[in-house]
Amino acid sequence: QVQLVESGGGSVQTGGSLRLSCAVSGYYSSYCMAWFRQAPGKEREGVVITYTGGGRTYYADSVKGRFTISQDNTENTLTLYLQMNSLKPEDTAMYYCAADPRYCSGDYEEAADFGHWGQGTQVTVSS
């Protein structure tokens, strides 16, 4: 059973940085993984999409140049990191990690296409 656990959220001021982590346990293959975020009253939006088996990573235009994704693999756990720099108040949202055992479709993925989700971690950026 695949489980995703996010951590690293918090409150920072504009211009600050945070690093989110998504620990994936129980995985057995490469995954299309993504970070989504959802602000109150808004739809869930994709922030970054990556295939853990290698290949391109796609960032939303709103975070390009500020957010960077990386991963660390051990025998039983894959950890996906999201380094967020130069944070803005509009980055405030609940951030979710998502995974699905397939290739990524491209630079856009629907949230509904991911079968595994973490519980989310809150990021708050104050001005």
Q: What confidence tens digit (pLDDT) does each residue in 66-118 have?
A: 999 999 988 778 999 999 999 999 999 999 999 999 999 888 889 999 999 99
Residues of 81-92 as b/e, b for ≥16 C-beta within 10 angstroms?
A: bbebeebeeebb
pLDDT at position 69:
96
The helix/strand/coil state of 41 is coil
pLDDT at position 19:
98
The helix/strand/coil state of 112 is helix
pLDDT at position 107:
81
13-70: per-residue pLDDT in tens?
Answer: 999 999 999 999 887 788 999 999 999 999 999 999 999 988 889 999 999 999 999 9
Query: Beta strand 121-126 with 10-13: parallel, antiparallel or unpaired?
Result: parallel
DSSP 29: S
pLDDT at position 55:
82
pLDDT at position 76:
76
Nearest to 52 by CA among 74, 19, 20: 74
pLDDT at position 29:
81
pLDDT at position 62:
96
pLDDT at position 117:
97
